[in-house]
Chains A and B, each alone.
Chain A
């Protein structure tokens, strides 16, 4: 019984134990906490090299970041080492608990509020030399409690992808590319045949939210201080999606046997999909024979709308050499570096000065970049990710559900976060 109890104990505390053990070892350095806050002097212990922690999408990204960091290391004379996290959230959390975090790291919009509120993140945005060059929508995506925390690394937006062969086969021309909700419904119906559905997309807020944005709604107001999830605009957006689903002209990717919109589109189970610019990689690698074009999402009653997805370069408050870290981030978000990244592994540069060159290099993908002007981010408040995943769970049964009821529960959950 003793041994079994031990097993129980091990696993009961397992999730926390790891971090705690580390923190116990690292608590000797606890005196440095709260010393470096915003506005104060940046630390600059140049005897220490920088560690950079990234969550890589593949070899191309790892190699590109490695090369960029190595180049910076050479010119600045500061050592810097890139490591690829297998589970970024977990490794970051362990680092923060031990007060020995990576100096510079990828940070998602979902994780921003949590780390910003517990003081792990350095709010260095205002110190950036190229601060005004970032798209305003991206700056607000990384602004928490009125402070611009970290430099947007790159971004993606959602747009409409159209299979040109199926489009032509259905007798449609360029003039038919939908610019309004009605037109989208019409072409989706035209493109729906026995073996394929007009439009397929993922069942989550990160796709359906585009319809809500086009109707003029959003989950929270721009600075995430007020929940607006059950606004009539959001309800209208969801009800539009619901109509398409019930008319059979739009399907969730999972319903037609695909893991995500891109797979449904690539396997030609659908003639159109709503996805971000990351889809281009999948199309080239997995479905090279499918011809497609990118169009802007049709405008809703309140004009154009889409969602944006972005990560930033976080810097740790506990980093002993924040000055060098800031310098590295400026280098990594510079025009040259971002255009190289874009070439190597496909993201869109987060700065406006790189837009013209990027557009000329990627003429087919211009709609994605144009989306930056009207794109909407996720709510920046601690716990919002949970609320969104709860919303996602409910959206899976949108077909038979009640849009108002779904959004009411989301509203209730978001309001609870603000108390």
Chain B
């Protein structure tokens, strides 16, 4: 470490002030349009503001955690709707995030190969859905997945009688259970509930309608994330792969043991962005189904909008938004912990040490 300068003076004296000066516009903008409104929304979630006039006027009272407790323990319709919305969105996240990440990585590896002809074309083609507005895609999807739409026509060629996608509220897992002969769940699942809906309902899986949205999310976002992966892949140095080749690693091993670990930072970005986007799904629901059929495409973001703007339950709407915020933060932290670089464990190390002796013989 260099010797510390005893006093900040002379030519470097005004640095702090200039620093603040240069960042001031952004700080002011963010404060005005982000921090202050968010704090205001936080206040609303603790108040009984009913949508008329300023939420800071004298007639608006502090109601503590009332809005939150109605959602997570009220026993009423609000809790039930919130539970349903969380259930729907949890299944959505559970399916969308892994599928879109895998698919985008797969596409990226595919179009990154030197031998592929017309790589530019494929890159553009895969990226295209991402630059199209989600409203346009939703409308397209509504047509494709209508009862007599193109998707069902295609399915009928292979002898499958397609479902009435956007009007089918039945859960996919429930349908599978039913096909296996389980019509109603065991009493332990149907009799007990969490957030107003029974555990059997939690296990319903995404509804057929939600599945169409899941396919749509995968279709539209994979292109964006493919781009991130391509950028990361092009940054990898060839030496490491070459060394792996010299060590006798085959293509599959090179991908899993050499390429993928190096993509960890990008993987984190993609998973985080995917997670956030999937938890906040709103436009598709707003333009497409408005929560129907049978509330199976209701999501917390849409429920928050509905509570505030159509039911004048502004406190509850804000509370939903903040609960969603906490959920997203928790998931992101969990995933950060999961993907963190760790010292190699002893068990793992043993495997590495064995490799030179056993490797290459197969």
Is the pairing of A and B real? yes
B210 at the interface (CB under 8 A from A): no
CB-CB contacts of A252-284 with B at 8 A, as 1s and 0s?
A: 001111100000000000000000000000000
Q: Are A13 and B30 in contact (CB under 8 A)?
A: no
The one of B55, B291, B293 in contact with A20, judged by C-beta atoms closer than 8 angstroms, is: B55
Known: A393-B292, A396-B293. A382 touches B147 (CB 8 A): no
B304 in contact with A15 (CB, 8 Å):
yes
Of B30, B57, B148, B332, the most chain A CB neighbours within 10 A belong to B57
Question: Which of A6, A34, A97, A397 makes the CB contact (< 8 A) with B34?
Answer: A6
Cβ contact of B312, chosen from A10, A93, A99, A396, cutoff 8 A: A93
Interface size class of A (residues with CB under 8 A): 35 or more
Q: Are B317 and A15 in contact (CB under 8 A)?
A: yes
Residues of A within 8 Å of B57, CB to CB, are 27, 30, 33
For A387, list chain B residues within 8 Å (CB).
77
Hey, which chain B residues are within 8 Å of A7, CB to CB? 276
A7, A110, A387 pick with most chain B CB within 10 angstroms: A7
List, in ascending order, chain B residues with CB within 8 A of A96's CB.
51-53
A387 and B295 CA atoms in complex are apart in Å by: 12
In the complex with contacts A15-B317, A99-B53, A393-B169, A93-B41 CB distance below 8 A: no
Q: Verify if B134 is at the interface (C-beta below 8 Å from A).
A: no
Taking a contact as CB atoms under 8 Å apart, the answer to whether A12 and B34 are in contact is no
Q: Is the Cβ of B76 less than 8 Å from the Cβ of A27? A: no
Size of interface on B: residues with Cβ below 8 Å to A = 57
On whether the beta carbons of B53 and A12 are closer than 8 Å, the reply is no
Q: Which chain B residues in 1-37 approach chain A with CB under 8 Å? A: 30, 33-35, 37
Within the complex, which residue of A16, A23, A34, A120 is in contact with B54, where a contact is CB–CB below 8 Å?
A: A23
**Which of chain A's residues have a CB closer than 8 A to the CB of B189?**
none
B76 engages A114 (CB within 8 Å): no
Among B109-117, B123-131, B245-253, B320-328, the stretch that binds chain A is B320-328
- Give the shortest distance, in Å, between A162 (CB) and chain B (any CB): 24
CB of A254 within 8 A of CB of B293, answer: yes
B309 close to chain A: CB less than 8 A: yes
B: residues with CB less than 8 A from A are 30, 33-35, 37-38, 40-42, 44, 50-57, 59, 76-77, 80-81, 146-148, 164, 167, 169, 272-273, 276, 280, 291-295, 301, 304-305, 308-314, 317-318, 321-322, 324-325, 328-329, 332
Question: 4 closest A-B pairs (Cβ-Cβ)?
Answer: A257-B147, A114-B312, A12-B325, A27-B54
Interface CB pairs A-B, < 8 A, 19: A4-B276, A6-B30, A8-B328, A9-B325, A10-B34, A12-B41, A13-B42, A13-B318, A15-B308, A16-B41, A23-B55, A99-B54, A114-B311, A385-B311, A389-B291, A390-B295, A393-B294, A397-B294, A413-B76
